[in-house]
Chains A and B, each alone.
Chain A
Amino acid sequence: MASGLLPEFFALLGIDLFLMLSLLTCLLDDRVPKAIPYIYQIAALVGYGHILVSKDFFTVFGEYMRFWYCFIYLLVSLANIVAVNIYFAAVKKQWTLAKVWSGAVSFPTILISIFFVSNYSYLQGVPFPLLLQIALVVAAIIMGTSVAIFLSPGALRNKFKEE
């Protein structure tokens, strides 16, 4: 029998996303406020707190409640990734960077999160509708191909020089 995911896996995923955001915003610190990388580190620590709470109150909190607070944490981390994407595009007007961020960070992380959520829901006996699963696979293929074609290193170098 396949071992199932615990709801805390979503908190773990959220922590890793916040840490990734922290490092990326540190690399791009001339484009984002200086405090942002540290805020994301604190957000990751909050996620660790989630897991600790789950561990100490494992039998008190039902799986339903644990799922929702871990899932909401993951949603918050994804919302931050999208927010940074929007910040680059709308506030900083750096379209190339926003496109790269979208293709290399936003879309893959959202897709990976959807994959794990669908896997978890399948193991809980509530699988995603077949049409939605097919749509996700098609979206992943199209987006992956587009990223490979339009975000090639040479093309990006020229674009960044223009900006």
Chain B
Amino acid sequence: MNLKAIPFKRSAKLLALLLTSMLIATVSAITYLQLTMSSTVAVYKSNVYFVIGSDNGTKNLEVELDSTKTTATLTGLRAYPNASFTYSDPVKVRNNATTGSAPQIRLAPDVNPSANPEDFEYVKFLLNGTSARWLNFTSNSTAWSNTGTTNWITIPNSTQWSIAVVTKATAGAAVSASVTITIKVDVD
């Protein structure tokens, strides 16, 4: 198409349309930009939360959940010298959603323990899902170390999995020695 051959009337029409087009496109883009700036963030009730497990009230264990069920506190966990001791169902993590894509979860250390490394061999946490996810805190008698954040695992909707705890104290552990461990359950 030879643009020079376009008659004046047609050029004027094209120019008018071009100007209105630019106006509409610019105003639309500005409005869209304002829309992106005014995006709101609302707080929703989480579909993933903790549920008290069947071990609560047994083996000296007490489990407490906060009002939103997003923090679980386990007290009274026992560790025996030179013997592995397992709490198979102290607390569960539940995905209460019924529709939509299933979230992924993982275990992650939050605060690494520092107390009494000479009295413990390990404290292990097992996310007992479709495949196991272990987060282990082990002691070499002088310091604690951990295996780090686990891999993600997809928890299906309307499903709950237990987080098992396995403990072991050293053969010569002092009675009443204790350690505090904080872990997180990340949700994506």
- A: which residues have CB within 8 A of B? 3, 6, 8-9, 11-12, 15-16, 19, 22-23, 26-27, 29, 37-38, 41, 44-45, 47-48, 51-52, 54-55, 58-59, 125-126
A44 touching B14, Cβ below 8 Å:
no
B181 close to chain A: CB less than 8 A: no
B32 x A12 contact (CB < 8 A): yes
Which residues from B are CB-within-8-Å of A126? 101
Q: How long is the Cα–Cα vector from A23 to B18 in the complex, in angstroms? A: 7
Smallest Cβ-Cβ distance to B31: which chain A residue:
A51
Q: Given the interface contacts A45-B24, A54-B35, does A12 sit within 8 Å of B29 by beta carbon? A: yes
Q: Is the interface of A mostly helix, strand, loop or mixed?
A: helix
Most buried by A among B28, B29, B31: B28
- A19 near B31: Cβ-Cβ < 8 Å: no
Determine the chain B residues whose CB is within 8 A of the CB of A12 once the complex forms: 28-29, 32
Given contacts A12-B29, A22-B17, A41-B24, contact A27 B1 (CB under 8 A): yes
Q: Bound complex: CA of A69 vs CA of B27, how far in Å?
A: 20
Using a Cβ cutoff of 8 Å, how many contacts connect chains A and B? 68
Given that A29-B10, A44-B24, A48-B28 are known contacts, is A8 also in contact with B35, CB under 8 Å in the complex? yes
A22 to B17, CA, bound (A): 8
Of the candidate stretches B36-44, B45-53, B62-70, B163-171, the one touching chain A is B36-44
Is B13 positioned at the interface, with any CB of A under 8 Å from its CB? yes
A11, A26, A45, A58 pick with most chain B CB within 10 angstroms: A26
Closest to A126 in B: B101
B132 in the interface (beta carbon within 8 A): no
| Given A12-B29, A23-B18: A48 and B24 interface contact (C-beta under 8 Å) | yes
For B5-20 the 0/1 string (1 means CB < 8 A from A) is: 0100010011001101
Q: Does residue B34 face the partner (Cβ distance < 8 Å to A)?
A: yes
Contact A55 B35 (CB under 8 A): yes
Bound CA span A48–B20, Å: 13
Q: Is B83 an interface residue (CB 8 A)?
A: no
How far, in Å, is B4 (CB) from chain A's closest CB?
Answer: 13
Contact of B14 with A58 in the complex, beta carbons under 8 Å = no
In the complex where A26-B13, A27-B14 touch, is A6 in contact with B35 (Cβ < 8 A)?
A: yes
22 interchain pairs (CB within 8 A)?
A6-B36, A6-B39, A12-B28, A12-B29, A19-B25, A22-B17, A26-B10, A26-B14, A29-B10, A29-B13, A41-B17, A41-B20, A41-B24, A44-B24, A45-B24, A51-B28, A51-B31, A51-B32, A51-B35, A54-B35, A55-B35, A125-B101
CB of A20, distance to nearest CB on chain B (Å): 8
Contacts of B32 in A (CB 8 A): 6, 8-9, 12, 51
Asked if B21 lies at the interface with its beta carbon under 8 angstroms from chain A, I say yes
Q: Which residues of A contact B39 (CB under 8 A)?
A: 6, 58
Other-chain contact of A23, B17, B27, B29, B40 (Cβ < 8 Å): B17
Q: Are A47 and B1 neighbours in the complex by a CB distance under 8 Å?
A: no
Q: Which residues from chain B contact A54 at a C-beta distance below 8 Å?
A: 35
15 extra A-B contacts, CB within 8 A, seeds A41-B20, A51-B31: A6-B32, A6-B36, A6-B39, A8-B35, A9-B32, A11-B28, A26-B10, A26-B14, A27-B1, A29-B13, A38-B17, A48-B31, A54-B35, A55-B31, A55-B38
Other-chain contact of B27, A9, A26, A48, A125 (Cβ < 8 Å): A48
